[in-house]
Amino acid sequence: MARRDSSGAASFWALARDWLHAYLPKVRCASDKTIEAYRISLECLIAFLQESRGMKRRDIGFESIDRACAKSWVEWMRDVRGYAPKTVGLRLTALKSFLSYCAAEDVAICAIRDQVASVKGPKAARKPVEHLAEHETAALLSAFSGRTAKERRNRMMLVFLYETGARVSELTGALVGDVSLGKPAHVVLTGKGDKTRVVPLGDACVEHLKVYIEEFHPGLGRGGRSAPLFYSIRGGKPRQLSPDAVSLVLKNAGDMAREGCPSMPDRLHCHLIRKTRAMDLYKSGVPLPLVMQMLGHESMSTTSAFYAFATADMMARAVEAASPEILLANEWWLSEERLEELCTLR
């Protein structure tokens, strides 16, 4: 039941706090980053009402929000704040999600929810997916020589990142017990919102992991199967790597790989490796639903929006396969004899 203010109307602030601090984390099991993004979106709306409408925070309520308000807010984000279309869309989506929650709590808010639901954000330009070329991927994965234990750990980490398409949180949170090297080999990754997914492991990656586990988890002595798969020693104990540590590994790998591969991007991050893996699978003919399952996307539209771009090579192969006879340059069909044959009535 929605809490109400002194006028008897549903309290905007009480419902906003319930949504952010109770419903999203405890019912939806949303990640901290998702909740923070939603909070920032509501603060953006509040800032708009304060700056454009001259309202004080204590005077803001659901009566301040309608279709006209949402449309003006979209224009304000784009023209005054200079937000990119994608950012505007995310802010608008957060408001719609919040109003859907509020409408379920108080039927009087249903009309407001329906008005705002019809507002569309600006279309974001669809760009081809940024990903590493084949030679860049090879240079990155072979950047560490493996002369030291740290380099061998880092090399295995890069191979694991590419093989699984893992997010940084999934990489740092992976445990020894999450890896199964028997047939069929796979790893269980825990992603956003504590959702898990099973990712298959190729034979080459399995062989790398066997060697790595034998060296870094001998006899499963360092914490057993509950130990972090990739770790650093702090205080005499294996500790989970931080996202900053992973970023540093990628930066160092990129710097070394760039010596022999000048086209290597200046900024490397886990998501770029993730997109590279997905694009490589897609170009190899793996259906998008399987790519979606591997990436852990809940919606097919999320995957297709990123990866349903045909590369120049893919388009060239498709054209060649669709019209092979046209593409084959045969001299005979333009010969004088052939032209004479075409210009007869028989």
pLDDT at 67: 95
pLDDT value of residue 106 = 92
Enumerate the CATH 1.10.443.10 domain ranges in the chain, comma separated. 134-313
Cα(75)–Cα(91) distance, integer angstroms: 12
- What CATH topology corresponds to 12-117? DNA polymerase; domain 1 (1.10.150)
Mean local confidence (pLDDT), 193-207:
88
User: Which of 131, 145, 227 has its CA nearest to residue 179?
Assistant: 227
What's this model's pTM, rounded to 2 decimal places?
Answer: 0.69
Q: Which of 51-55, 295-299, 310-314, 329-333 has the highest mean pLDDT?
A: 51-55
Q: Tell me, letter by letter, the H, E, C secondary structure of 107-155.
A: HHHHHHHHHHHCCCCCCCCCCCCCCCCHHHHHHHHCCCCCCCHHHHHHH
pLDDT tops 50 at residue 329: no
Higher pLDDT, 8 or 153: 153
Q: What is the mean pLDDT of the chain?
A: 85
Class of CATH domain 134-313: mainly alpha
- Does 262 have pLDDT greater than 50? yes
Q: Give the residue among 133, 102, 99, 105 at the shortest CA–CA distance from 118.
A: 99
The whole-number average pLDDT for the span 90-112 is 95
Q: How confident is the model at residue 338, as a pLDDT?
A: 62
Provide the pLDDT confidence category of residue 264 given band limits of 50, 70 and 90. very high
pLDDT at 245 exceeding the cut of 60: yes
- Mean pLDDT (whole number) for 153-159: 95
Parts of the chain belonging to CATH 1.10.150:
12-117
